[in-house]
Structure 1
Amino acid sequence: MASWNSIPLEITYETFGWIAFFSWSISFYPQVILNFRRKSVVGLNFDFVVLNLTKHSSYLIYNASLYFSSAIQHQYFEKYGHGEMIPVAANDVAFSIHAVLLTAITLFQIVIYDRGNQKVSKISIATVCVVWLVAAVCFFIALPSHSWLWLISIFNSIQVFMTVIKYIPQVIMNFMRKSTDGFSIGNILLDFLGGVTNYAQMAVQSIDQNSWVNFYGNIGKTLLSLVSIFFDVVFMCQHYILYPEKKVVPSKLNKEGTEPLIRFSEERAAPENVLVHGGVYKE
């Protein structure tokens, strides 16, 4: 495998990688904490969580296989050249493991907390079933010839596909409700930072190696960053511009500095014999 040509670029690569790891990893916690505090998952789209679990599971299979398997690494070098670097870093594997765990916890919260009338759609269930069926068929196709690089590329393609479609149900739900209440914006802000630094990490590696194989050799990681950034921008526009959180305006106080027991609209006069503040009847 190729070595780094510049120590500063190698340090920058590692720095961007771990910033992406921590940003993406921490991004799961605001939603988990919000669900815990509310004891409710109303406002969080269940399809998003179900599709997300499949997405991160397939991404974990790809990252762990390419990072740890010498046989798959050999097949990668045979295809892209022995002078190239493996496009998966330790932070990618660590993130995938953490993502699967936290997404599973979020799914468990959906089971135990108040769900209102929300439920997982049949379309999402069918999509997940078809995806894993395809993965199983591809496994048996790859088994005789040991085409493991091809097989994990299928899992990489699955995670790209799931990344593209997983955000759509939540975007539509926010649009229909005209609100982002129940969906943590902290998750989106951290996800955006992770996407930017993840893409920057790949760019640094390409600059050092003077080669762009890193981008199309791991097209899944490239598209993961770009798609995540796109939808994060959409969510931020929904939260801050289209459907901003409504602020509670404090009610006006009376002369004594306390809120009246009974308030009347400006259009209507107070009826006779009504008890007002202070316990005095007004004729």
Structure 2
Amino acid sequence: MSLLEFTSAVFGWVYFLCWSLSFYPQSMLNYSRKSTSGTTVDFPLINCLGFLSYMISNYAFYYSPLIRAQYASRYHGLTPTVQFNDITFAAHGLLLSIICTSQYLFPRLWSFTPSKGNKPSRFILGIFFGCVVGVILVIFIVLSSPERNNPSGGGHAWVWLDAVYAISYVKLIVTLIKYTPQVLVNYKNKSTRGWSILQILLDFTGGVLSIGQQGIDSWLQGDWSGITGNPVKFALGNVSMMYDAIFITQHYVLYRGADGKGVEREGLLEREGDDERRIA
């Protein structure tokens, strides 16, 4: 294994750890505060759809001989740049998103105080069902194509690779809009109270390493089709980092010193403080 191959593997697993760990701070903060106030269910709810589609598409790119053959036919004999850690990350993200969503939709189950953010917005519901309908339509188009199972069907005919792309694009669409409701909530409240900045910092780090890994893999293959052939993975890192920059600016610059400053740290350490007071 060369130095670049080793670096790619390290980047892959470190970004997997950063992005995976980024799912925990918000759920932990909600649990410590016994409330989801200051945040909205839109983010974790649409994340469920995003990571489900991401898991399915990554699984197909990594394990399906037909999809890999059609990909190779379309991209000069190359293989998809999807790694096993991508599949693991997607499955883990789906599970944690479901858990976090349950804190909003079923607050009594968690002994939470109900808040205004427990109901999904029409905007997010529209995106949710619109994506589902779009994927179903593409699948029907592929089913009507006589070339759908052709391993070398990488030309103009509709093949199963196109259906996998349609599913993967759902994740891209979700990433483009999932942070917007929370950005607006923070702006309306002029505070980041209840919104975990730890998850944002971890997400930003993961985005940098994800793009770095894909760039190294494409360099090793000697062809940048590794990026153009898997635009979702490349776009995910860039879009996430753009939103992360907005949240970091809101937390540390725009609303610095607002009533939300330090709430996360206090909430996560609340139990420890209670224990110390009881001992004293």
Superposition TM-score, scaled by structure 2 size: 0.83
* Aligned residues: CA RMSD: 1.5
> Which of structures 1 and 2 has the bigger CA Rg?
1
CA deviation map 1:166-203 (0-9, x unaligned): 11111111001000011100000000010000000011
Whole-Å separation in 2 of the counterparts to 1:73 and 1:245: 52
Partner of 1:133: 133
Q: Which residue of 2 aligns with 1:221?
A: 233
CA distance, structure 1, for counterparts of residue 259 and residue 246 of structure 2: 22
Q: Which residue of 1 aligns with 2:64?
A: 69
How far apart, in 2, do the equivalents of 1:47 and 1:246 lie? Answer: 24
Shift of 1:124: 1.4
Bigger share in helix: 2
Question: 1:116, CA displacement in angstroms?
Answer: 1.8
Residue 33 (structure 2) aligns with: 38
Of 233-242 and 120-129, deviating more is 120-129
Number of the residue aligned with 2:265: none
Separation in 1, partners of 2:179, 2:228: 24
* Matched AA of 1:109: Q
TM-score using structure 1 length? 0.82
Aligned match of 1:191 = 203
Aligned ranges 1:228-243 → 2 under 5 Å: 228-243=240-255
Aligned residue runs from structure 1 range 247-258, under 5 A: none
Residue identity over aligned pairs, in percent, reads 37
Distance 1:239 1:96 in 2: 27
User: Which runs of no fewer than 5 residues in structure 2 stay unpaired?
Assistant: 149-158, 261-280
- 2:102 aligned partner: 108
Letter aligned with residue 102 of structure 2: F
CA distance in 2, matches of 1:67, 1:210: 20
1:67 Cα deviation from its structure 2 partner: 0.7
User: Separation in 2 of the partners of 1:233 and 1:48?
Assistant: 17
Deviations 1:41-61, CA, capped at 9 Å, x for gaps: 111221112222111111111
Structure 1, unaligned runs of 5 or more: 1-5, 249-283
Cα distance per residue 1:219-252 (max 9 Å; x no partner): 000100100011001100000000124479xxxx
Aligned position for 2:220 = 208
Q: Deviations over 1:114-167 (max 9, x none)?
A: 232222112211221121111112112212432211001111222111101111
Is the deviation greater in 205-214 or in 193-202?
205-214
Deviates more, 1:88-97 or 1:200-209: 200-209
Task: Report the equivalent of 2:85.
Answer: 91
What is the CA–CA distance in structure 1 between the aligned matches of 2:221 and 2:210, rounded to whole Å?
17
Q: Summarize the Cα distance change of 1:245–1:63 in structure 2 as closer, same or farther, 3 Å threshold.
A: farther
Residue of 18, 26, 30 corresponding to 1:23: 18
Q: Within 1, Cα distance between the matches of 2:174 and 2:237?
A: 13
| One-letter amino acid of the structure 1 residue matched with residue 185 of structure 2 | M
- Work out whether 1:151 is the aligned partner of 2:146: no
Q: Is 1:54–2:49 an aligned residue pair?
A: yes
Tell me the amino acid that sits aligned with residue 79 of structure 1: R
1:165 and 2:159 aligned: no
Distance 1:80 1:128 in 2: 31
Deviations 1:63-103 (A, max 9, x none): 11111111100000010021x23210011000000000000
